[in-house]
Structures are given as structure tokens and as C-alpha cells.
């Protein structure tokens, strides 16, 4: 039998729990949630210094999900790590929920910043990093951006300010899944994020967005930087690991039935056993 390591299993469970939560809601941001499952598994599978039983632990590392519409994937990771009961996932995006569609730090244990208005999260992350430095803390601040989100001017104001302040404990990720709400990033307003961030004085490189070992390695490299903030561009596929989303070009936000979810979950387990997870054959 194929040996499935703990972080790979966690990424599969993040995908499965997200698919199930969105199935119960009936719809949701499936494409961009799937493409961050792997980086979340790396972060919450051991890279981040956190205490799930004490979400506000002052010495923790922080995560700002700047593409806040993908909250359901982060909720799945948090629930699986024990921040709150798994059955909260049944309430995603329902009236009265503590797990709204977009992240709200006042509602959910483990959510460090309220996000959803694209472009703002990276500014908040830079501010948190600066504040922590002023307090003499060495905590890292991670931030996940979308590649479409990079069209927001505020991202580049934050990038300039973070470089000016030499916020070396700020480590951003760009989910380079090449698509945004209703089209390809390259057709709407593209450009190479690595080159752009380098032009802003950041340490920047690109890795395969589902290569867990490579992501871990680059987090360690970024954590040793003393001169500037770092960005790790994750080359991903929108909807990756979820069969019905992979098949659909317009997979930003989908209506999801039980049958679709059952099929997708079975396919995840099949790929794991076949050793082709998450991308499937021929990816």
C-alpha cells in the first residue's frame, strides 16, 4: 500500500472537508479554495508556530488570508487542527454561523485578520509584522494572495512599505492559479509576480504549489532572510484536486450537489492510493 505522509493526508482532508462544507452550503468558492489546500497543509501541518487550544497566544505566527473568499479552506485546516469542533464546518456561510464565507477575525478562532476586500490583507499583514517587531517579537506573518488580487493597487503600496521597513518576518504566498473571477489573469492584467516583487525589493521565487517539501524548504529559506520580506509564488491549478471543479472552466464559485461532492471525495482517495494526488494522471 502506498505510504501517505501526514502533511499529504492533511491536504487531502482539507480538500475533503472543504468540499463537504460547500456541499452542505450548496455553493461556494471552490476553485481558489482547492488551490491553497497544499500550502495550508504545510503551514498548519507543522511550519507555523501556533497553539490551536490558545488561538490568541501572543508568541504565535500569524496568517492573513488576503484572498479572504477562500475562508472555507482555511476553516477546514483550523477545524482539523482542533481550533474548533469539526461540526462547525456544517454551518459555513449559513445565517448565524461563526464561519462566514469570507474571513472575520471577530467570529472565528484562529482567524488573524478580517479579509475579503481584495488587496487589503497584505497591508494588514505588513502592519502586523511591523507591530510585532516593535514589540520585540520574532513571530512570522504569513499572507496568502491571489494572482488576480495582485491587480489591486493597494498590494503594491504594501509591498513598497514592507520593503522600506525591511519586514523580513513577512512571508507572502501568491496562489498563481492563473484564473480570477471570470477569466484568465494573463488576459485581464497579468505579468510575472516574481519579477514584480523583485522589482519592489522582495526576495521572490516560484515553486510547484502542491510540492509540500518544496514549499517547506522555501519557508525555511525565507525565515532566514534578514534584509527584506519574501514572497513564494505557488504555481497551482484552479480547482486542483476536486474532479468536478477541474473539469469546469468557470470554477470560481460553483453550485455543488451531494453527488458531485461524493465523486470528488472518492477521486481524492483514489489518487492518493495511486500516488498521483492531488493533480491526477496527466497533469
Q: Which of 146, 229, 241, 278 binds ligand TPP (CB under 6 A)?
A: 146
Phi and psi at 25, nearest 5°, equal -70, -30
175 binds ligand TPP (CB under 6 A): yes
60 binds ligand TPP (CB under 6 A): no
Q: Which of 97, 168, 177, 251 binds ligand TPP (CB under 6 A)?
A: 177
The residues that bridge with 230 in the sheet, in sequence order, are 171, 203
> What is the distance between the alpha carbons of residues 257 and 86, in angstroms, rounded to a whole number?
20
Tell me whether residue 46 or residue 183 sits nearer to ligand TPP (CB atom). Answer: 183
Closest approach of ligand TPP to the CB of residue 200, in Å: 18
Tell me whether residue 90 or residue 248 sits nearer to ligand TPP (CB atom). Answer: 248
Q: Considering only residues 62-121, where is the footprint of ligand TPP by CB under 6 A?
A: 67, 69, 116-119
Q: Which of 179, 215, 228, 243 binds ligand TPP (CB under 6 A)?
A: 179
Q: Which three cell numbers stand for residue 55?
A: 488561538
> What is the distance between the alpha carbons of residues 151 and 140, in angstroms, rounded to a whole number?
25
278 binds ligand TPP (CB under 6 A): no
Closest approach of ligand TPP to the CB of residue 175, in Å: 5
- Sign of the CA dihedral with 38 first, then 85, 253, and 102 last: negative
> What is the distance between the alpha carbons of residues 90 and 21, in angstroms, rounded to a whole number?
6
Q: Is 205 helix (H, G, I), strand (E, B) or coil?
A: strand
In whole angstroms, how far apart are CA 107 and each of 101, 111, 149, 193, 222?
12, 8, 24, 32, 31
Tell me whether residue 169 or residue 252 sits nearer to ligand TPP (CB atom). Answer: 252
Q: Which of 11, 19, 32, 61 binds ligand TPP (CB under 6 A)?
A: 32
Q: Is 27 helix (H, G, I), strand (E, B) or coil?
A: strand
238 binds ligand TPP (CB under 6 A): yes
Chain positions contacting ligand TPP, by CB under 6 A: 31-32, 67, 69, 116-119, 146-149, 175, 177, 179-181, 238, 252
Amino acid at each position: 500500500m502506498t505510504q501517505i505522509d501526514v502533511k499529504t493526508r492533511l491536504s487531502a482532508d482539507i480538500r475533503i472537508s472543504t468540499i463537504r462544507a460547500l456541499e452542505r452550503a450548496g455553493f461556494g468558492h471552490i476553485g481558489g479554495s482547492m488551490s491553497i489546500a497544499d500550502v495550508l497543509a504545510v503551514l498548519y501541518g507543522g511550519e507555523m508556530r501556533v497553539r490551536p487550544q490558545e488561538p490568541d497566544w501572543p508568541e504565535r505566527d500569524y496568517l492573513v488570508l488576503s484572498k479572504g473568499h477562500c475562508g472555507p479552506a482555511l476553516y477546514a485546516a483550523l477545524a482539523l487542527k482542533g481550533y474548533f469542533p469539526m461540526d462547525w464546518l456544517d454551518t459555513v456561510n449559513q445565517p448565524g454561523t461563526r464561519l462566514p464565507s469570507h474571513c472575520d477575525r471577530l467570529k472565528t478562532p484562529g482567524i488573524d485578520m478580517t479579509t475579503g476586500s481584495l488587496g487589503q490583507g497584505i497591508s494588514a499583514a505588513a502592519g502586523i509584522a511591523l507591530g510585532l517587531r516593535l514589540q520585540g517579537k520574532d513571530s512570522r506573518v504569513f499572507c496568502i494572495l491571489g494572482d488576480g488580487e495582485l491587480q489591486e493597487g493597494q498590494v503594491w503600496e504594501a509591498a513598497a512599505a514592507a520593503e522600506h521597513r525591511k519586514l523580513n518576518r513577512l512571508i507572502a504566498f501568491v496562489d498563481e492559479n492563473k484564473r480570477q473571477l471570470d477569466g484568465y489573469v494573463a488576459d485581464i492584467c497579468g505579468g510575472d509576480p516574481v519579477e514584480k516583487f523583485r522589482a519592489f525589493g522582495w526576495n521572490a521565487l516560484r515553486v510547484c504549489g502542491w510540492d509540500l517539501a518544496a514549499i517547506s524548504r522555501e519557508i525555511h529559506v525565507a525565515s532566514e532572510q534578514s534584509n527584506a520580506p519574501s514572497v513564494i509564488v505557488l504555481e497551482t491549478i484552479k480547482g486542483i484536486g476536486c474532479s468536478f471543479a477541474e473539469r469546469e472552466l468557470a470554477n470560481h464559485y460553483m453550485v455543488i450537489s451531494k453527488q458531485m461532492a461524493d465523486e470528488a471525495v472518492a477521486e481524492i482517495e483514489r489518487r492518493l492510493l495511486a500516488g498521483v494526488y492531488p493533480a491526477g494522471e496527466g497533469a
